[in-house]
Amino acid sequence: MMKTFEHRSIIPGSAEQVMAFYATPNAPTKLTPPPIFFQINDDRRRSIKDGELEFTLWFGPIPFRWLSRHEPGSIEHSFIDRMLTGPMATWVHEHIVRDVPDGVEITDRIQIAHKGGIVGVFTRLFFDGLPLRLLFNFRQMATRAAVRRMTGQHTL
């Protein structure tokens, strides 16, 4: 069954700054909360909107291997990472970044479908509901901190 997860946040900064952070090679690592470990296996991205990224997410001793394709999103400051192979039946994550009066609004919209069997049990535990909310709350804080560092603002 396909479902949609959406998380929105507003942080200080601009769409240009957030997209610049997302384009840094270590952004996926900085956006991954402990105790999860993000391991890049092969990075064939030519830009944040073009190419493929092969990686493993380690939840302790449990590896989840992914191959995702990065492609343009629905607006200028957006991109999609689409799982080509991995633990889910479907994972299409659109990152939408818009300038708003109070800073920048970041919308993460994910189309998710789980596989059956034991893999589906694990993905429901790690990539759905409350775990996804916690992940994207962490990502909001990490993005805010990264944009502050980029602009020389070091206070909370």
Q: Where are the alpha helices (DSSP H) in the chain?
A: 15-22, 27-30, 117-126, 129-151
In this prediction, residues 1-18 reach a mean pLDDT of 96
Stated as kind and residue range, the H or E segment containing 64 is strand 62-72
In this prediction, residues 96-125 reach a mean pLDDT of 96
pLDDT tens per residue across span 52-75 = 999 999 999 999 999 999 999 999
Residue bearing the bigger pLDDT, 155 or 20: 20
How many residues appear in the chain? 156
**Judging by beta carbons within 10 Å of its beta carbon (0-12, 13-18, 19+), is residue 106 exposed, middle or buried?**
buried
Residue 154: its pLDDT value, please? 60
Residue 152: its pLDDT value, please? 80
d(CA 61, CA 129): 22
The fold adopted by the segment(s) 3-151 is Alpha-D-Glucose-1,6-Bisphosphate; Chain A, domain 4 (3.30.530)
pLDDT at 2 over 90: yes
Query: What are the structural domain ranges in the chain?
Result: 3-151
pLDDT at 143 over 90: yes
Distances (CA, A) of 42 to 17, 57, 87: 25, 13, 17
Q: Specify the pTM.
A: 0.92
Token pair of 45 as six digits: 């991205």
Q: pLDDT category, 150, cuts 50, 70, 90?
A: confident
Sign (positive or negative) of CA dihedral 115, 121, 126, 131: positive
pLDDT at 46 over 70: yes
Residue 127: its pLDDT value, please? 93
Residue 151: its pLDDT value, please? 82
pLDDT at 102 over 90: yes
For helices 129-151 and 117-126, give the axis angle rounded to 10 degrees.
50
pLDDT at 155 over 80: no
Token pair of 18 as six digits: 């957030």
